[in-house]
Amino acid sequence: MKTKLSRRSFALGTLGLLGAGHAHAQDGAEKSPAVPPPPPKPVSRTICFVGGYTKHAPPGGAGNGEGIAVFEMDRDTGVLTPVTTFTDIASPSFITLSKDKRFLYALSEIDDFNKDGDGSVTAFAVDRKTGSLKKLNTISSGGAVPAHLSIHHSGKFVLVANYMGGSVAVLPIRPDGSLGPATDVVHNTGPRQPERAADNPQGNFAVSDHSGAHPHMIQSDPSGKYVIADDAGLDRVYVWTLDLANGKLVPAKTPYYDMTPGSAPRHFQFNRAGTLIYNLCEQDSKIVVSAFDPQTGAINNLQSVSTVTSHFRGSTLAAEILISADDRYVYASNRLGDSLAVFKAGDDGTLTLQDETWMHADYGRAMMFDPSGNFLFCANQRSDAVTSFKVDKASGQLGFTENFTPVGSPTTFAFMDTEV
């Protein structure tokens, strides 16, 4: 039997079916499985390298370290967790990473690398994902007992300060990251200086070696036009340009600047613009703030300020200086005083001591910020420990994290974030 449908009934029925189909489609959409979230992105890690004195060192310099210790840093707490230690190196008391973090260079503070009584510098390839090291080569540092090295702004040379050798050296970096023999070695000379400065902290019996030239740091200014070196034995700051074609140091128009006799200029930091240089003097524990002319290399002193408070009495030797990424705060370590000085920089770059923080350990030497600038780490040579401090970037203040990391005779840091 056939059923007759009016045109109106047919139309209404069709709309009903379409509506039901639409509702069913909506129900289906609501009940279909959700699109799975994308997999979490790989997270990079922060690696910390720590060097120091091993048993193989010049007389009086032997330590408890095993080589270059590698740690992973917890970015929230600053805790350092051991990963591995590269042991095939003697007394790597100063290390530095290339700008792209592909290579690490470490000096050996020794005097028996060759028949000439030189120290040495070792080049490593760095695994950017794990932080592991692969030795490339080791060459003479160009003098005995090197104390500091840096990579020139151009990335073409490693600059070395040989403390006991009284020399600075220029080592070319080959395309594979290894080092070639020195293209230049410059020996400093000058009159003998007193063991102590006249402006010592009261009761300071510590002395610095002024028996001759003792370069303690060498580094290019931020522009790369000039190379600066602190000579703690001659109480001078040297200035050169670097001939990039031949790797030769050329004295600037004013080749050196005299510091306070006996003060032992040790380490320095530039502001970001390269117009100010903060020079830390070891023996009298002073920071000398100077204007630096990036065009001529001229240095003009603006201020000298103590790294210990006015009530301090006793022996101390300043060791390391840092400047915050925004140029607002400067930090200095006092080894025998076991303190960290916190300075606020004014608009003209001059400093005001605003705090003095206990290191919570003995004979703190090197300091370094982690890549984020949230933590400051201190290498405490005689305590065989690294301590860390949370940095309040607004006030510059340091808060002790209560974290102690055991490391034999630590003296130097390098940090990197791994690739993912």
252-294: pLDDT as tens digits: 999 999 999 999 999 999 999 999 999 999 999 999 999 999 9
3-state secondary structure of 28: helix
Q: What is the pLDDT of residue 41?
A: 65
User: Please, which residues have CB within 8 angstroms of residue 219's CB and are 6 or more apart in sequence?
Assistant: 150, 159, 227, 228, 268
DSSP-based three-state secondary structure for 393: coil
Domain residue limits, the chain? 188-358
Give per-residue pLDDT as tens, 65-107: 999 999 999 999 999 999 999 999 999 999 999 999 999 999 9
Return the pLDDT at 31: 53
> Which residues 6+ apart lie within 8 Å of 65 measured at CB?
51, 52, 53, 54, 91, 92, 407, 408, 409, 410
Query: Residue 247: is its pLDDT beyond 80?
Result: yes
Could you read off the pLDDT of 189-209 as tens digits, one per residue?
Answer: 999 999 999 888 888 888 899
Q: What is the pLDDT of residue 414?
A: 98
pTM summary value: 0.89
Distances (CA, A) of 361 to 72, 311, 337, 338, 398: 22, 21, 10, 7, 15
Residue 59: predicted pLDDT: 64
Question: Is CATH 2.130.10.10 the right assignment for the domain spanning 188-358?
Answer: yes
The answer to whether residue 383 scores a pLDDT higher than 70 is: yes
Q: How deeply is 209 buried, as exposed, middle or buried, from its count of CB atoms within 10 A (0-12, 13-18, 19+)?
A: middle
| Alpha-carbon gap, residue 123 to 153, rounded angstroms | 18
> Span 299-327, mean pLDDT?
94
In this prediction, residues 360-372 reach a mean pLDDT of 95
Q: What's the mean per-residue pLDDT of the chain?
A: 91
Contact in structure between 380 and 388 (CB atoms under 8 Å):
no
Pairing relationship of beta strands 46-52 and 68-73 according to DSSP bridges: antiparallel
Q: Say what the pLDDT of residue 32 is.
A: 55
Q: Which residues of 127-145 are buried (b: 16+ CB within 10 A; e: fewer)?
A: ebeebebeebebbbbbbbb
What percent of the chain is predicted at pLDDT more than 70?
90
pLDDT interval class at 4 (50, 70, 90): very low
50 pLDDT more than 70: yes
* 208 in Cβ contact with 194 (< 8 Å): no
What residues have CB less than 8 Å from 61, skipping those under 6 apart? 53, 91, 109, 145
pLDDT in tens, 392-411: 999 999 999 999 999 999 99
Q: How far apart are CA 329 and CA 411, in angstroms?
A: 23
What pLDDT score does 12 carry? 39
pLDDT reading at 6 higher than 90: no
Check whether 24 has a pLDDT greater than 70: no
pLDDT at 15 over 50: no
The confidence score (pLDDT) of residue 11 equals: 40
First to last CA, the chain: 75
